[in-house]
Structure 1
Amino acid sequence: MPLSVEDREAFLADSHIAAMAVDAGPGRAPLNVPVWYDYSPGGDVRFLTGADSRKAVLVAKTGRFSLLAQRSSPTYRYVSVEGPVVRADPTTVEELTRIAARYLAPEDVRGYVESSDLSALVTFRMRPERWLSADLGAL
């Protein structure tokens, strides 16, 4: 059963490892890789990556991507969102800290941020246009 707007946005705002997919060009399947991301209901989806990474090059080239967050424990639930890139900026300490804090133990965040090379990172922001969602336990 599809999730309500409020439920899908709340689910996406939770910490999930997401699969990000982007068109990889003619004769290729889409590039589909796990990413850490950040989202607040009603806002843009943000993820950061190495500025020279294949995913960064493809996202910059195509100008859009999709993101799938899922939960496999009962009940299985997912949210998929797709849309255009609205910004691509050098990653700030604040963005890196916020995203790392969603995925790492609190005592590990500072060390992770301090050991990261901010000059090598870019943050992409995507404005959600199309949503798919389901909770298979709500049947």
Structure 2
Amino acid sequence: MALTREEREQFLAEPHIAAFAVDGGPGRAPLTVPIWYQYAPGGEIWIMTGLDSRKYQRIKAAGRFSLMVDRTEPTIRYVSVEGPVTDTIPATIDKLREISARYLPAGKVDAYVEFASKSHGEQVIIHMRPEKWVSSDLGSL
């Protein structure tokens, strides 16, 4: 059964790890990888990635990307969303801390932020406006 707008936005706002996909370029399948993301109902999605990463290069070329999140408990539910890139800005330590706190236990955030800021290279934040939604809750089959 399809989710209502409120249900799908609330589900997307939960801290699921998304399957990120973007056009892989000529002769390539779509680039699909797991990624952390941030979203609040009614707003835009943002992700953080390396300035020199293939992800970022493909996003720049395509101008859009998609995310899909799912779960299997207590019911089988998924939300897939795609849309255009609306902004790209340099990442900050505050944003790295924000997204890390969404996914990691509180006691692990500081160490991860220190590690990531030293070893992941220059990062960017890419905003996407959700435009196309597909969602369903299949119950507890």
Scaled to the shorter chain, the TM-score interval is over 0.9
Query: Aligned residue for 1:14?
Result: 14
Q: CA deviation at 1:74?
A: 3.1
Cα 1:6–1:138, aligned 2, differ >3 Å: closer, same or farther?
farther
Query: Aligned residue for 1:85?
Result: 85
- Runs of 4+ in structure 1 displaced over 4 angstroms? none
TM-score, normalised via structure 2 length = 0.93
2:112 matched to 1:112?
Answer: yes
Query: Aligned residue for 1:134?
Result: 136
Q: CA deviation at 1:112?
A: 1.2
Note the alpha carbon deviations across 1:85-133, whole angstroms, 9 max, x for none: 0011111122111110111110111111122237611111000000000
Q: CA deviation at 1:54?
A: 0.6
Q: CA deviation at 1:27?
A: 1.9
Mean Cα deviation higher: 26-35 or 109-118: 109-118
TM-score, normalised via structure 1 length = 0.94
Task: Assess if the C-alpha contact under 8 Å between 2:76 and 2:140 holds in 1.
Answer: no
Q: CA deviation at 1:138?
A: 7.8
Q: 2:124 aligns with which of 102, 122, 125?
A: 122
- Percent of residue pairs identical: 55
Task: Assess if the C-alpha contact under 8 Å between 2:91 and 2:125 holds in 1.
Answer: yes
One-letter identity of the residue aligned with 2:135: S
Q: CA deviation at 1:60?
A: 1.2
Query: Aligned residue for 1:59?
Result: 59
CA distance in 1, matches of 2:99, 2:70: 18
The runs of 5 or more residues in structure 2 that have no matched partner are none
Mean Cα deviation higher: 108-117 or 127-136: 108-117
2:30 matched to 1:30?
Answer: yes
CA distance in 1, matches of 2:94, 2:2: 34
Alignment RMSD? 1.5
* Count of residue pairs the alignment pairs up: 139
The runs of 5 or more residues in structure 1 that have no matched partner are none
